[in-house]
Amino acid sequence: MATALDQTMAQKRRTLGAAVLANQTFWVLLAVVLACIFLSFATDSFATSKNLYNITRNATFVAIIALGMTLVIITGGIDLSVGSVLCLCSMVLAVVMHSGYSIEVGIAASVATALLIGAFNGLLIAYVGFPPFVVTLGMLSIARSLAMVASNNTVVFQFGPDHDKLLALGGGAWLFGIANPVIYMIALTLLTGFVLRWTRLGRYIYAIGGNEQAATATGIPVRPIKVGVYMISALSAGVAGIVQTGWLGAVTTNIGAGMELQVIAATVIGGANLAGGTGTALGALVGAALIEVIRNSLGLLGINAFWQGTFIGGATILAVLFDRIRNFRQSE
Amino acid sequence: MATLEITNISKHFGAIQAVSDVSLSLEAGQVLGLMGDNGAGKSTLVKMIAGNYRPSQGTIRLNGSEIVLHRPIEARQHGIEIVHQDLALCNNLSAAANVFLGRELRRGFGPLRVLDYKAMYRRAGEIFRELRSETRPRDLVRQMSGGQRQAVAIARTMISEAKIVLMDEPTAAISVRQVAEVLHLIRGLRDRGIAVVLISHRMPDVFDVADRVVVMRRGRKVADKPISQTSPEEVTGLITGAIERG
């Protein structure tokens, strides 16, 4: 009896190949690779080191925030405030440095702002029971308004004594000529992936998204973890803001406008489910890459930039469509 | 000595008397069928044993020593496990992940401790084999049958040294074949010397697997007898009140 059981168990265990084919991230990655191959033949300018440098760097800001967003979405929440938080954190950094403080003080102030906003969102959602959509929609408005107040709606492009350090942080390429933001992105992806797969915190984040009542019943600290993921999401927006400030060399009050939608699109394309319970760090990265490749290629192929939204939106819907088809098959 | 001994326990919620003056005892390796109509006080009684409610009066003893439970986690620390009616599983996680939820095995030391997937898969596999259930540790709960899901919920009670397992309507919403599977699991628990309290509305299940049946009506215990000395007809009469006392 025992041996018969073991045999069926071995037979029915999914093979590695089948697992890869059932993985949305794999298909999106394939789409990115195929698009890149196609573009290298179809255009002269795609496969140049300058363009690849641009693509990788442009994708990073969306990707870094998508990592934080992935955690929120896995718990079954959403964070609409990230674009505005990016703007506010950039502005806090800029204003603090502009008034003569060092880069360390500027970054500390910026990170503290992000954590404070994340904690505010998280506490209202986890302890007061507000819907995440409403709280973060409110914060979308508040954070951008505060950025305007902080800067009096001006452009800041002088960052005091540590001006050059900040520009090097965001615009340099300290390692093998890879743009610094890309290195941060890779490091953060590895970190997020590690937490999700190998730690109890990661396991609990998935459990909360799968069945919040069950998670509570087994003694998982659901509320503190929910506050935590909104803090991480805001922090990821803050980090992206700091890096982007260094890269752009100037901060206006409209940076990051509408970025939350790109970030959510990247997360969903990468396999996260807005109903909660699924999503990966690699998925967020690959989703952000696909969006950037689409944007870049439209430009290179000479297609009117107005079409960008159609293509990105189409990719988002297509990704979810694949997911639906797969679930259909599984339930049959 | 009885594993579980409840003496003159009562619970009221404001003016409502949910359980009045119930005493019962349960031996290791015994399956107790707890029956009664809706609102008879079965769930309240079980929730007091599981630490969800504090009794208004009366005592609970475990292996002879009195215990006072403030929270479900304390009951669990005493070896009292409950399988909820809705099972409380995470569909998006594997069977093994659900079995160990909140009590994950880890390896390494200090801040560098990571989830020990291998050990959890292996241990969960052993438990499923002990339960003689065809549940695979790596499968997602989403893809499982009702009986397999029940096995996951029951396996969860077995990673600790459970002395008592409380089951709330485990056969309420599953197919006939799966019911047989669940009753099989209950016998598995009994054979390991675990005391089982089975709340059920289904007469055949109780008569199939239980050693004793306790009937409650309007918060009171109206019968407590070995299965061999009663019949489904008598129990039905006790539940409805057609028979006053057994």
Distance CA B100, CA B120 (A): 7
Q: Which residue of B has its CA nearest to A214?
A: B88
Confidence at B178, pLDDT banded by 50, 70, 90: confident
Q: Which residue of B has its CA nearest to A195?
A: B114
- Tokens coding B94: 């594997």
Tell me the angle at which helices A132-151 and A103-126 cross, rounded to the nearest 10 degrees: 150
* Total of domains in chain A: 1
Query: Which pTM does this prediction carry?
Result: 0.84
Distance CA B48, CA B13 (A): 13
Indicate whether A3 belongs to any domain: no
Binary contact (A214, B72; C-beta < 8 A): no
Please say if the pLDDT value at position A11 is more than 70.
no
CA distance B240 to chain A (A): 33
**Chain A contacts of B181, Cβ < 8 Å?**
none
* Angle value at C-alpha B124, between B175 and B195, nearest 5 degrees: 65
Domain residue ranges of chain B, discontinuous segments joined by +: 4-240
- Tokens coding A86: 């990016």
Closest CA relative to residue A223, chosen from A82, A80, A76, A125: A125
Give the single-character DSSP code of B25: E
Q: Is B106 in CB contact (< 8 Å) with chain A? A: yes
End-to-end CA distance of chain A: 29
Query: Residue A266's domain spans which residues?
Result: 50-331
Indicate whether A41 belongs to any domain: no
Indicate whether A45 belongs to any domain: no
Tell me the residue type at A130.
Answer: F
End-to-end CA distance of chain B: 25
Indicate whether A42 belongs to any domain: no
- Tokens coding B210: 């239980």
Binary contact (A211, B106; C-beta < 8 A): no
Average pLDDT for A279-285: 93
Binary contact (B143, A330; C-beta < 8 A): yes
| Cβ atoms of A168 and A103 closer than 8 Å | no
**Chain A contacts of B102, Cβ < 8 Å?**
215, 218-220
B 129-158: CB under 8 A from A: 129, 132, 134, 136, 138, 143
B12: which strand partners? B17
**Chain B contacts of A210, Cβ < 8 Å?**
90-93
Indicate whether A104 belongs to any domain: yes
Question: Which of A8, A219, A278 shows the shortest C-beta gap to B102?
Answer: A219
pLDDT 10s digits, A47-98: 888 888 888 888 899 999 999 999 999 999 999 999 999 999 999 999 999 9
Distance of CA B195 to the CA centre of its chain: 9
**Chain A contacts of B86, Cβ < 8 Å?**
213
Please say if the pLDDT value at position A2 is more than 70.
no
Q: Which residue of A has its CA nearest to B88?
A: A214
Looking at mean pLDDT, say which of A15-19, A52-56, A160-164, B192-196 comes out highest: B192-196
Indicate whether A21 belongs to any domain: no
Q: Choose the mutation target among A203, A273, A278 for the interface with B, i.e. most B CBs under 10 Å.
A: A203
pLDDT at position B162: 84
Question: Which of A14, A203, A213 shows the shortest C-beta gap to B115?
Answer: A203
- Tokens coding A136: 């973060």
Binary contact (B91, A211; C-beta < 8 A): yes
Q: Which residue of B has its CA nearest to A10?
A: B136
Please say if the pLDDT value at position A22 is more than 90.
no
Query: What sign results for the dihedral spanned by CA atoms A129, A132, A138, A140?
Result: positive
Higher pLDDT, B117 or B39: B117
pLDDT at position A3: 46
Distance CA A234, CA B118 (A): 34
pLDDT at position A132: 95
pLDDT at position A286: 93
Confidence at A15, pLDDT banded by 50, 70, 90: low
Please give the torsion angle defined by the CA atoms of residues B223, B225, B231 and B236, in that order, rounded to the nearest 10 degrees: 20
Confidence at A12, pLDDT banded by 50, 70, 90: very low
Distance CA A291, CA A318 (A): 13
| Cβ atoms of A97 and A166 closer than 8 Å | yes
CA distances from B30 to A86, B49, B194 (A): 62, 16, 7
Q: Which residue of B has its CA nearest to A5?
A: B134
Q: Choose the mutation target among B70, B73, B85, B101 for the interface with A, i.e. most A CBs under 10 Å.
A: B101
CATH code for position A134: 1.10.3470
Closest CA relative to residue A156, chosen from A85, A81, A89, A109: A89
* Angle value at C-alpha A67, between A61 and A70, nearest 5 degrees: 135
Distance CA A73, CA B53 (A): 34
Higher pLDDT, A214 or B160: A214
Supply the ipTM of this predicted assembly.
Answer: 0.80
Task: Report whether CATH 1.10.30.50 matches the domain B4-240.
Answer: no
Residue B203, by phi and psi: left (phi above 0), alpha (psi -120 to 50) or beta? alpha
Q: Which residues contact A78 (CB under 8 A, 6 or more apart)?
A: A72, A132, A133, A136, A264, A274
pLDDT at position A17: 66
pLDDT 10s digits, A175-207: 787 888 888 999 999 999 999 999 999 999 999
Confidence at A139, pLDDT banded by 50, 70, 90: very high
Please say if the pLDDT value at position A16 is more than 60.
yes
Q: Would you call B23 helix, strand, or coil by DSSP?
A: strand
pLDDT at position A28: 85
pLDDT 10s digits, B189-225: 898 889 999 998 888 899 999 999 999 999 899 999 9
Q: Is B229 in CB contact (< 8 Å) with chain A? A: no
Tell me the residue type at A202.
Answer: G
Distance CA A62, CA A269 (A): 13
Please say if the pLDDT value at position A224 is more than 70.
yes
Binary contact (B106, A215; C-beta < 8 A): no
Binary contact (B138, A198; C-beta < 8 A): no
Indicate whether A14 belongs to any domain: no
Confidence at B172, pLDDT banded by 50, 70, 90: confident
Binary contact (B89, A199; C-beta < 8 A): no
pLDDT at position B132: 76
CA distance B107 to chain A (A): 10
Please say if the pLDDT value at position A23 is more than 90.
no
Indicate whether A246 belongs to any domain: yes
**Chain length of chain B:** 246
Binary contact (A278, B92; C-beta < 8 A): yes
Confidence at A4, pLDDT banded by 50, 70, 90: very low
Q: Is B118 in CB contact (< 8 Å) with chain A? A: no
Give the single-character DSSP code of B94: B
**Which residue is listed with tokens 């950025």?**
A147
